[in-house]
Chain A
């Protein structure tokens, strides 16, 4: 499972030591990792590729692509990324049909 994990880097070859093997773990790391890492991966399209190809979540991948297109950076990127991922997680963990 760890082979499929997302590994956070700050630049080419510079690994932060943080990785996420699930969307829950990814959300926790979004709060913690260096902002440079979030910016590095967003603009390389690494987040959207991992979420689409490894987690198979096309909708979340599209939401993250929007952040890239809007050129989100810095703390605004962290906040918005956290928001879209947490919103999606809440959706996925919620009931299929609301009571």
Chain B
């Protein structure tokens, strides 16, 4: 089956619009148009097309939980699994609100990589011990608690010719 995004190709103007939206999605069509020297109606049409084709999946607010006084620790987990159970474990993990990202990877062994958050170390340990370790097929878990972040960005779209 052909996906919606396969029917639409993006040109440099689309990519430039995407980059500006990634920097600040609250800009008006006019502001984006001015920066790119095109009419705001063109920007509107392009954004509509990219939303409908699934290139833009959602607009979200990034909340500073520390400023809100919500203490959270982040940890990166590498879960070594029985290959027969990997997909099932990964799918089960997606159901937990503590799990922000889940992916599978194959290096020497088939593993699941996950990013999880918890209120503190005790809550993190309890979550791993009660919810992840008992899942059938989990062989080992390595967890690293993030102590300091140096960079956290999403991939920024660039025009092809830059």
Spell out A's residues near B (CB within 8 Å): 2-3, 5, 7, 9, 12-17, 19
Contacts and interface: CB of A to CB of B under 8 A. Distances in A.
Closest 8 CB pairs of A and B: A13-B143, A15-B141, A7-B133, A17-B140, A13-B128, A15-B133, A12-B125, A17-B139
A3 B130 CA distance: 7
Q: Interface range on chain B: under 10, 10 to 19, 20 to 34, or 35 or more? A: 20 to 34
Given A13-B145, A15-B141, 14 more contacts: A7-B134, A9-B125, A9-B128, A9-B129, A12-B125, A12-B128, A13-B75, A13-B143, A14-B142, A15-B129, A15-B133, A15-B140, A16-B140, A17-B80
Contact of A12 (B124, B132, B140): B124
Contacts of A19: 133-134
Interface string B50-68: 0000000000000000000
A13 B125 CA distance: 5
Nearest to A13: B143
A17 B145 CA distance: 19
